[in-house]
Structure 1
Amino acid sequence: MHPLDNPFWFSLVGPQQAWSQGNDLARRYPPEVAPFAALREPSPEAWAALAGLLEPAEGVALFGPESYQPPGGWTTLTTFPILQLIHGGAALPNRLPTADPVLLRPEDTAAMQALVGLTRPGPFAPRTPELGEYFGVWEGGQLIALAGERAHLAGFCEVSAVCVDPRAQGRGLGAVVVERVMGGILERGELPFLHVALDNAAARRLYLRLGFEERAQLQGTVVQRPSLSE
């Protein structure tokens, strides 16, 4: 298995091990950081280990080449395909940006949450920005675009939470913040990757234009641990 087929597992046993809760069978991020968990492999023992990391009836999301099939008592809340793209590592073009993204600080968290709530780019917990560097574009005292780093495994780092205020779309700000995050990843000698919904054609066109290539279609599975009464 390629590490990117199970990106959260290889993040939680690798560079993001400090965020990891679990053991050598199942791991998760703290719920205030990210709603993701991972299994080394989907064995009965791994599912039991994951259950021990969750509160009764708590749900988490897992990514893998196929949808996960949890054992009896668990509930599959939803499954969804997700397209994974990876950048080949070529140097970014030297072009004049339309805006200058700045590094976002802890005091910017409320503004980040507001923009994410407006645009809904995907899961974004209160402490998600602590997983990596996040950059944003401000205008008139308002945060109007952002992107940052989420999963981080050996040799790879995920670009995530790409969002632009609807009132500022059409100005190339998505490309500006994505390239700023990519630049930091490439400077470390790592390859950027990201995930995008299959039906988000506009985002796919943007990422392909920025040098990403489609690597694989993964499956997301949101599962819920059995309650104590089950």
Structure 2
Amino acid sequence: MSGSIDADLDRPIWAALTTKQAHLGYGDALARRYHLDVAPFAAVASETPAAYQALLQLLLPHEQAAVLRSDESIGPLDGLQITHAGVIHQMIARHRTAASVDDHDVIRLGDADGKDMLELAQKTKPGPFGKRTGEMGNYIGIREQGRLIAMAGERMRVDGYVEISAVCVDEDYRGRGLAGRLIKVLRREIEQRGDTPFLHVFSNNTSAIGLYERLGFELRRTFQLTRVGHADSRSAAVA
């Protein structure tokens, strides 16, 4: 893969919002964000005071956006509040898998499943998931006796890469390998389209990292996840 394409992974939110997912957000040449009911993520074109001031113009006084940043600090800025939320590992499956995939009871999730998807995400907390998150890509799941017990889907998309996200399993059904099965199905489909799957996970989520490593994902780089908002903000819109 070319270095220029691979470089999109160094700023995946910006790359997605300025290309394949521009229709899911808004902003200008300095800063862009997803619509809040899609995802709480935002990005700036460069780590400059002007870009962050442009980002603030996209946020209501009480709102905060989640931003992936490098280890570099831009220092204090007038009117800007930056809160550290954790270290993120970006992992990628560079080598195509030849492993068999068990998809016998895997179903496609769509608009009719929206309520169940949102409830499962709120219960299991796999990461930010809003009413329109399902519009970001393909979502699959497993139902048992009509109940949605597991799901996973595609989130950010850039040229050549698709992010796997919202991997979650109801606590009553864990230990059955459902998460791994869903990831394998999505990985196969992404690779069949000619793209490479990647994902993001908190550095302290060792159980998830172990699963992803067993499935063939490897650490590419780390980010600082920060919450950005107005300096007088007293509520966090990012969970």
Q: TM-score with structure 1 length normalisation?
A: 0.93
- The residue that corresponds to 2:81 in the other structure is 75
- For residues 30 and 90 of structure 1, the distance between their equivalents in structure 2, rounded to whole angstroms, comes to 33
CA contact (8 A) 1:196 1:204 kept: yes
- For residues 79 and 71 of structure 1, the distance between their equivalents in structure 2, rounded to whole angstroms, comes to 18
Pair 1:65-2:70 in alignment: yes
CA contact (8 A) 1:103 1:135 kept: yes
- The residue that corresponds to 2:221 in the other structure is 216
- The residue that corresponds to 1:85 in the other structure is 91
1:61-210 alignment, distance < 5 Å = 61-66=66-71, 69=74, 71-95=77-101, 97=102, 100-210=105-215
Shift of 1:212: 0.8
- For residues 61 and 103 of structure 2, the distance between their equivalents in structure 1, rounded to whole angstroms, comes to 48
Q: Name the amino acid aligned to 2:152.
A: A
- Secondary structure in structure 1 of the residue aligned to 2:119: helix
CA RMSD of aligned residues (A): 1.8
- For residues 16 and 210 of structure 2, the distance between their equivalents in structure 1, rounded to whole angstroms, comes to 27
Q: What are the superposed Cα offsets for residues 132-189 of structure 1, whole Å, 9 maximum, x if unpaired?
A: 0000000011101100001101111100000011111111100111111112211111
Q: Name the amino acid aligned to 2:82.
A: T
Runs of 5+ consecutive residues of structure 2 not aligned to the other structure:
234-239
Shift of 1:223: 1.2
188-197 vs 63-72, greater mean Cα deviation: 63-72
- For residues 68 and 10 of structure 1, the distance between their equivalents in structure 2, rounded to whole angstroms, comes to 21
Pair 1:24-2:29 in alignment: yes
Q: What are the superposed Cα offsets for residues 64-114 of structure 1, whole Å, 9 maximum, x if unpaired?
A: 22266461222223331011100114134125x275211101010111111
- For residues 92 and 75 of structure 1, the distance between their equivalents in structure 2, rounded to whole angstroms, comes to 47
CA contact (8 A) 2:103 2:185 kept: no
- For residues 46 and 150 of structure 2, the distance between their equivalents in structure 1, rounded to whole angstroms, comes to 37
CA contact (8 A) 1:10 1:153 kept: yes
- For residues 29 and 6 of structure 1, the distance between their equivalents in structure 2, rounded to whole angstroms, comes to 14
CA contact (8 A) 1:20 1:28 kept: yes
Shift of 1:57: 2.8
Runs ≥4 residues deviating over 6 A:
none
Q: Name the amino acid aligned to 1:223.
A: V
Shift of 1:222: 0.5
- For residues 64 and 212 of structure 2, the distance between their equivalents in structure 1, rounded to whole angstroms, comes to 30
The partner residue of 1:52 within 33, 54, 57 is 57
18-27 vs 63-72, greater mean Cα deviation: 63-72
Runs of 5+ consecutive residues of structure 1 not aligned to the other structure:
none
CA contact (8 A) 2:56 2:229 kept: no
- How many residue pairs were aligned? 227
* Identical amino acids, percent of aligned pairs: 40
- Secondary structure in structure 2 of the residue aligned to 1:109: helix
- Secondary structure in structure 1 of the residue aligned to 2:65: strand
- Secondary structure in structure 2 of the residue aligned to 1:107: helix
